[in-house]
């Protein structure tokens, strides 16, 4: 069970107030007691010195019958000085005066007079017959100041610490209550203010939000940089640190130092999108001003590597597949043209014509087949380009003679089919080990009134059951290279979105066949 911030602050304030009041009160009582004892000690010493210098006292101490006169003098002085008692003792600790006349002639009580009998002057606190008292001891000398004849003791009763606390307990209790009330009210107001500033969230909720925010920011595939209202960078996610090489630069740098050519626009506190070259790389920079209660608080900057963005766009749209095919076809034709040019230079015109005719017949045959069987030129162009790329890679691409595809695909668009077919064939190309003898890829595409079926089979290295369960995961690639593992994930995504079925049949060392089945209406095929 979590305790709320408000309750925590109230409990903490209660403990602080109790501790503070108790500590301060205890120290104050001790300090006052010490000061009081020091003051009355000095007063008692002054009175005791006066009594010890009285001639009648000096003469009568130690004399038989001297107690009568000494008692009169002591009591008169006691009442005049408003002390609790004045006791005169001789060198045997026998009292010659005391407020309680019945104690005259008896031994002094307290046990702290021994040093005074050794001609020393001091103050002590001890328990006497009248209670706890601060007592001043002053030696009494004879009239010639040659010999000590007794001791003058002046005592002022002092209350104990417990007695002082008992006396002022009501005041202490009232002060404690007021302190608690003020502390609790202050804590309540402070807690309410903090809760208002944190939108009613508890500390653990704020911590969780910060952790979630950080996790989301770090997981994003774009660079994110946050700056304050002064343009100082306050946050960079993992990718932004990689782009900006923050390990080699000061993290808390100004955004102007990073994008000097864009700082003027960013500083205008408006949303912008522009290309920026930084550390020899081209980035698409977008800024999003942040306002809190209509007050500008900073800017969020996103960074996208244009190279990565272009590559991903090509993968998503199928452009890369077509470009690769055209490049391979261009490469193949260039080789043929070089051969023809060489034969002509050697005056082997008949051989050159044979190559031209063979190539013409071969290309005319495949082009005629694709035009008759595939009504969508994007699909025809894709297969033609893949055929040229296969020749470049030393692979035989066989398009099944039963393949047939009209322009009607149900919910699947032409772009979807280009992505599916292109990625399946490309994946088949990549299934072959280097140096393999016969490399063959067979492609079958057919459609009837209700069903569409696409099959791509290769005699490559095949896959284990474990790999078959991973190949459609975004980012997973058997090549283990960064930026791979997108094609088959896109295929799976498109097929699933159109309620189709994707089946993989593979055996290690024998090859793999991938089959896609879908209804033209986009429903799951039974």
Cβ neighbours, 10 Å, residue 417: 23
Which of 68-82, 197-211, 300-314 has the lowest average pLDDT?
Answer: 300-314
Determine the pLDDT at residue 424: 92
Nearest CA to 99 out of 81, 122, 83, 123 is that of 83
Determine the pLDDT at residue 467: 87
Which residues, at least 6 apart from 309, have a Cβ–Cβ distance to it below 8 Å? 284
Q: Which fold has domain 5-165?
A: Beta-Lactamase (3.30.450)
Nearest CA to 237 out of 304, 306, 185, 290 is that of 304
Please say if the pLDDT value at position 524 is more than 50: no
CATH number for region 318-519: 3.30.565.10
Give the model's confidence band at 87: pLDDT under 50 very low, under 70 low, under 90 confident, else very high.
Answer: very high
- The tens digit of pLDDT for each residue in 207-247 reads 888 888 878 877 777 888 888 888 788 888 888 888 777 65
CATH number for region 222-307: 3.30.450.20
Average pLDDT over residues 261-266: 57
Distance CA 229, CA 44 (A): 73
Average pLDDT over residues 155-166: 71
Which of 118-132, 315-329, 406-420 has the lowest average pLDDT?
Answer: 315-329
Determine the pLDDT at residue 54: 92
Determine the pLDDT at residue 478: 66
Average pLDDT over residues 435-443: 83
Determine the pLDDT at residue 96: 92
DSSP symbol at 64: T
Is pLDDT larger for residue 435 or for residue 138? 138
User: Domain ranges in the chain?
Assistant: 5-165, 222-307, 318-519
- What is the signed CA dihedral for 187, 191, 194, 199, rounded to 10 degrees? -170
Contact 264, 258 (CB under 8 A): no
- What is the signed CA dihedral for 173, 177, 183, 187, rounded to 10 degrees? 140
Determine the pLDDT at residue 109: 81
Q: Which residue has the tokens 């058997």?
A: 478
Average pLDDT over residues 68-84: 90
- The tens digit of pLDDT for each residue in 21-45 reads 778 777 877 787 778 778 888 999 9
Determine the pLDDT at residue 140: 92
Give the model's confidence band at 127: pLDDT under 50 very low, under 70 low, under 90 confident, else very high.
Answer: confident
- The tens digit of pLDDT for each residue in 486-515 reads 778 888 888 888 888 899 999 988 899 999
- The tens digit of pLDDT for each residue in 285-303 reads 788 888 887 888 888 888 8
Average pLDDT over residues 473-478: 72
Which residues, at least 6 apart from 453, have a Cβ–Cβ distance to it below 8 Å? 444, 445, 446, 447, 515, 516, 517
Ranges 52-61, 173-182, 463-472, most confident: 52-61
Distance CA 310, CA 313 (A): 5
Please provide the DSSP assignment of 357-375 as one string: HHHHHHHHHHHHHHHHHBS
Is pLDDT larger for residue 324 or for residue 84? 84
State percent of the chain over pLDDT 70.
76
Q: Mean pLDDT across the chain, nearest whole number?
A: 78
Is pLDDT larger for residue 477 or for residue 123? 123
- The neighbouring-strand residues paired with 295 are 292
Determine the pLDDT at residue 257: 72
Average pLDDT over residues 97-112: 86
Q: Is 9 helix (H, G, I), strand (E, B) or coil?
A: helix
Give the model's confidence band at 323: pLDDT under 50 very low, under 70 low, under 90 confident, else very high.
Answer: low
Ranges 29-38, 331-340, 514-523, most confident: 29-38
| 5-165 against 318-519: fold identical | no
């Amino acid at each position: 069970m979590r305790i709320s911030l408000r309750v925590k602050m109230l409990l903490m304030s209660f403990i602080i107030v109790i501790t503070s009041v108790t500590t301060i009160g205890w120290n104050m009582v001790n300090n006052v007691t010490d000061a009081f004892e020091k003051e009355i000690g000095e007063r008692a010493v002054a009175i005791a010195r006066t009594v010890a210098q009285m001639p009648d006292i000096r003469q009568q101490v130690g004399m038989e019958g001297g107690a009568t006169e000494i008692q009169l003098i002591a009591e008169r002085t006691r009442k005049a000085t408003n002390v609790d008692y004045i006791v005169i003792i001789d060198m045997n600790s026998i009292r010659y005066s005391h407020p309680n006349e019945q104690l005259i002639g008896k031994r002094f009580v307290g046990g702290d007079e021994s040093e005074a009998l050794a001609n020393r002057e001091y103050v002590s606190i001890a328990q006497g017959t009248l209670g706890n008292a601060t007592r001043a001891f002053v030696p009494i000398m004879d009239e010639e100041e040659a010999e000590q004849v007794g001791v003058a003791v002046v005592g002022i009763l002092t209350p104990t610490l417990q007695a002082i606390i008992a006396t002022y307990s009501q005041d202490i209790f009232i002060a404690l209550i007021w302190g608690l009330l003020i502390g609790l009210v202050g804590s309540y107001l402070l807690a309410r203010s903090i809760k208002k500033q944190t939108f009613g969230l508890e500390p653990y909720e704020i911590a969780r939000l910060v952790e979630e925010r950080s996790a989301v920011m770090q997981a994003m595939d774009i660079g994110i940089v946050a700056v304050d209202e002064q343009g100082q960078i306050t946050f960079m996610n993992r990718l932004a640190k990689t782009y900006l090489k923050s390990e080699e630069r000061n993290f808390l740098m100004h955004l102007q130092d990073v994008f000097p050519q864009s700082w003027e626009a960013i500083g205008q506190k408006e949303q912008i999108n522009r290309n920026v070259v930084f550390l020899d790389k081209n980035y698409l920079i977008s800024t999003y001003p942040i306002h809190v209660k209509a007050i500008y608080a900073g800017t969020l900057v996103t960074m996208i590597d244009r190279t990565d963005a272009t590559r991903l766009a090509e993968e998503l749209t199928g452009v890369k597949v077509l470009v690769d095919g055209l490049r391979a076809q261009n490469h193949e034709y260039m080789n043929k043209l070089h051969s023809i040019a060489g034969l002509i230079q050697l005056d082997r015109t008949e051989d050159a014509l044979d190559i031209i005719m063979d190539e013409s017949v071969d290309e005319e045959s495949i082009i005629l087949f694709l035009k008759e069987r595939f009504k969508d030129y994007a699909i025809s162009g894709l297969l033609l380009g893949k055929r040229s790329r296969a020749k470049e890679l030393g692979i035989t691409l066989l398009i099944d003679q039963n393949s047939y595809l009209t322009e009607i695909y149900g919910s699947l668009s032409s772009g979807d089919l280009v992505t599916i077919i292109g990625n399946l064939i490309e994946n088949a190309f990549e299934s072959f080990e280097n140096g393999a003898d016969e490399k063959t890829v067979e492609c079958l595409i057919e459609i009837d009134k209700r069903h569409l079926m696409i099959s791509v089979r290769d005699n490559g290295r095949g896959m284990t059951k474990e790999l078959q369960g991973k190949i459609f995961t975004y980012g997973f690639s058997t090549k283990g290279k960064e930026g791979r593992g997108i094609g088959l994930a896109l295929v799976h995504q498109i097929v699933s979105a159109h309620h189709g079925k994707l089946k993989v049949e593979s055996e290690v060392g024998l090859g793999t066949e991938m089959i896609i089945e879908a209804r033209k209406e986009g429903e799951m095929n039974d």
